[in-house]
Amino acid sequence: MSKVLMKGNEAFAEAAIRGGCNCYFGYPITPQNEVPEYMSHELPKAGGKFVQAESELAAVNMAYGAAASGGRVFISTSSPGLALMQEGLGFICSCEVPLVAMNVSRGGPGVGGIQPGQADYFQVTRGGYNGDAKIPVFAPSTIQESVDMIYECFDIADKYRNPVIIFADGMLGQMMEPVELPPHKGLATPEEIREKKPWAITGKNNHEGRNVVKSLRLQPDVLEKHVEMLFEKYAEAEKELVRYKTMNLDEAEIVFVAFGTMSRICAEAIELLEEKGVKAGMIRPISLWPFPKKAFDEIGSKAKIVISTELSMGQMIEDVKMAVAGRWPVGLINRTGGIVPSSIEVAERALKALEEVK
Amino acid sequence: MKKKMFFAGSGGQGALAIGQMIAKAGMEEGNEVTWLPSYGPEMRGGTANCTVIVSDKPISCPLINDADVLVAMNLPSLRKFESMVNPGGCIFINSSMVPETSSRTDVKVIEIPANEKAQELGNDRAANIVMLGAILVETNCCRKDTIMHQMEKMFSGRKAKFLPANIAALEVYCK
């Protein structure tokens, strides 16, 4: 198949269409505006429905409704927009409704800025919704990986009957790279929806009685059982959805932990350190929840320090410390507010951190 | 082979567009490419720039610390970015819009009166394509035939009428 040069945001949207998305609800926010723009003209051509909602709150609840009736739903936003969607995501988890949500993140808190950021790590992995729920989160580092992931995540969402979040950032959304697009999976027919999603509110069930999608459970014992059932699914997800890549862990004195855009900068910093005779390696979490704890068991005997490298004041570092479990000192290299450090800055700070622990 | 190129100008001058054409042509030639724009609350007349990397190996980081080639379509772009060019690298200056030259003496400075040449062809808006022709000749970042192929794709359908004027603009320097 031939490659095309595509802008990240447009490729994300095209991947969702080819993944069989038939409903998209969005509200403009930089740096993901090309997603709704692209969807507005391309999704209808592919037989889907595009709605520009009046706010992110409206978009997530429209998505909730469409997914509850069996739609294959995609939504996208950027950091403050995701904050507005949190209430809906909690309801959707409780109701066991599948959908794929994309966060093309920027600087915060509040409206913050529009340049790339990763300070939504807590927002996506811990959630801002109430109650006990989990959402699988995947953080791609290239446009190709994003496309493959979005394409696949509809099936993951369907399997677990839960939202799945794709966590990109402004740089991935705005840049262009060659991509190979997968074939269109085709849109599900009403019969297929009823067969594959027998719980969906289609108005025409194959069984007696009604389908009910709800999150209200007033009796504590009923609610407790429901939440325990959700957590049986999450336990399964924790086994099945762990994804990561590693680089030079056997030889590395410095082990970076970085995802998304930061992992690409770290990859270049590793080359710069090599030129100075210092071996560095990397763990690149792809699934942020479930966090790839087992990757840390692959760290070799030469490691002197593990450095969480983030576009935030240090959020992933909490998961890194838990995974490290005291085996190595844990450092932090970070910039925030939309500043993306150069590979030179990362390499210099890593060298300094190494000297301090030696 | 790895070429790190930086294109800068004011919004509407087409700096991002020629960067994109080089990235697309580079991809067509089988290379790895990345195109990374500055983005923000920008508009026509504001500043705009992009980074293009063309490489025969996978590209880890789309951001650059230094450039082999700088294309400055206006004066603020030259002043702001000339220091990032590697010694021995190339600075292209749109001399129609930039009354000064580069302060760098360790790089090759190429002054191209892009707007004047485009105006002579009766199409001021093709100044960026005039510049693109000069870049192709000097840097070999990609081939003329793949750029021509990209232009044919870009100027097709309703825009097909603009193709001959743009080919003429490209061929001012790239015969």
Q: What is the ipTM for the molecules in this complex?
A: 0.95
Q: Which amino acid is at A319?
A: D
| Range ranked top by mean pLDDT from A37-41, A190-194, A210-214 | A37-41
Residues A162 and A289 reside in one and the same domain: no
Q: Do A5 and B35 touch (CB under 8 A)?
A: yes
Checking if the pLDDT of A117 tops 60, the result is yes
Residues A279 and A236 reside in one and the same domain: no
Nearest CA in chain B to A30: B40
Q: Do B35 and A170 touch (CB under 8 A)?
A: no
Residues 169-208 in A contacting B (C-alpha not used; CB under 8 Å): 170-171, 174-178
DSSP tally for chain A: helices H, then strands E: 12, 14
Residues A78 and A100 reside in one and the same domain: yes
Residues A236 and A266 reside in one and the same domain: no
Last residue of a domain, one of A214, A240, A266: A240
- Min Cα distance B70 → chain A (Å) is 19
Q: What is the pLDDT of residue B42?
A: 66
Q: Tell me which of A245-254, A292-301, B45-54, B116-125 is least confident.
A: B45-54
Nearest CA in chain A to B37: A175
Segments forming the whole domain that contains residue A159: 4-199+225-240
Which of B22, B34, B53, B57 to probe by mutation at the A interface, max A CB count within 10 Å? B34
Average pLDDT of every residue of chain A: 97
Interface residue A268 vs chain B (CB under 8 A): yes
Give the tokens for residue A318: 């909490």
Residues A255 and A146 reside in one and the same domain: no
Q: Do B61 and A343 touch (CB under 8 A)?
A: yes
Give the tokens for residue B111: 């002054």
Torsion region of A127: left, alpha or beta (phi above 0 gives left; psi -120 to 50 gives alpha): left
Checking if the pLDDT of A60 tops 70, the result is yes
Residue A213 belongs to a domain: no
Residue A217 belongs to a domain: no
In chain A, the number of structural domains is 2
- Chain A residues with CB under 8 Å of B24 CB are 5
Residue A135 belongs to a domain: yes
Q: What is the pLDDT of residue A207?
A: 72
Residue A205 belongs to a domain: no
Q: What is the pLDDT of residue B39?
A: 86
pLDDT digits (tens, 9 = 90+) for B94-107: 999 999 999 999 99
Q: Closest partner residue to A176 among B32, B35, B39, by Cβ?
A: B35
Residues A280 and A337 reside in one and the same domain: yes
Q: Do B62 and A31 touch (CB under 8 A)?
A: no
Q: Do B61 and A267 touch (CB under 8 A)?
A: yes
> How many CB pairs below 8 A link A and B?
55
Last residue of a domain, one of A240, A267, A290: A240
Residue A324 belongs to a domain: yes
Helices assigned H by DSSP within chain A:
8-18, 34-42, 56-68, 79-94, 121-125, 143-160, 170-174, 190-196, 220-240, 260-275, 316-324, 343-357
Residue A295 belongs to a domain: yes
A333 CB-side CA count, 13 A:
30
Residues A250 and A304 reside in one and the same domain: yes
A74, β-bridge pairs: A24, A100
Residues A47 and A177 reside in one and the same domain: yes
Residue A212 belongs to a domain: no
Checking if the pLDDT of A166 tops 70, the result is yes
Are A112 and A79 in contact, with CB atoms under 8 Å apart? yes
Residues A233 and A253 reside in one and the same domain: no
Confidence of residue B34 (pLDDT cuts 50, 70, 90): very high
How many angstroms separate the Cα of B60 from the Cα of each of A170, A224, A249, A270? 17, 47, 18, 11
Residues A253 and A321 reside in one and the same domain: yes
Are A8 and A21 in contact, with CB atoms under 8 Å apart? no
Residues A91 and A150 reside in one and the same domain: yes
Give dist(CA A342, CA A335) in Å, integer.
10
- Domain map of chain B by residue range? 2-170
User: What would the mean pLDDT of A7-14 be, rounded to a whole number?
Assistant: 98
The fraction of chain A above a pLDDT of 70, given in percent, is 99
Residue A218 belongs to a domain: no
Higher pLDDT, A10 or B44: A10
Which CATH number is A300's domain given? Answer: 3.40.50.920
Checking if the pLDDT of A241 tops 70, the result is yes
Q: Do B39 and A5 touch (CB under 8 A)?
A: no
- Chain B residues with CB under 8 Å of A176 CB are 20, 23, 33-36
Q: What is the pLDDT of residue A204?
A: 74
Residue A24 burial (10 A CB sphere; 0-12, 13-18, 19+): buried
Does the domain at B2-170 match CATH 3.40.920.10? Answer given as yes
Residues A30 and A171 reside in one and the same domain: yes
pLDDT digits (tens, 9 = 90+) for A278-315: 999 999 999 999 999 999 999 999 999 999 999 999 99
Q: Do B39 and A344 touch (CB under 8 A)?
A: no
Last residue of a domain, one of A213, A240, A267: A240
The C-alpha R_g of chain B, in whole angstroms, comes to 15
How many angstroms separate the Cα of A338 from the Cα of each of A331, B39, B66, B77, B160? 21, 11, 20, 22, 40
Q: What is the pLDDT of residue B43?
A: 65
Give chain B's contact residues with A (Cβ, < 8 Å): 20, 23-24, 27, 32-37, 39-41, 60-63, 65
Q: Closest partner residue to B60 among A3, A178, A264, by Cβ?
A: A264
Q: Do B39 and A31 touch (CB under 8 A)?
A: yes
Closest by Cα among A27, A2, A219, A305 to B153 = A2
Helix, strand, or coil (residue A63): helix
Q: Which amino acid is at B64?
A: I
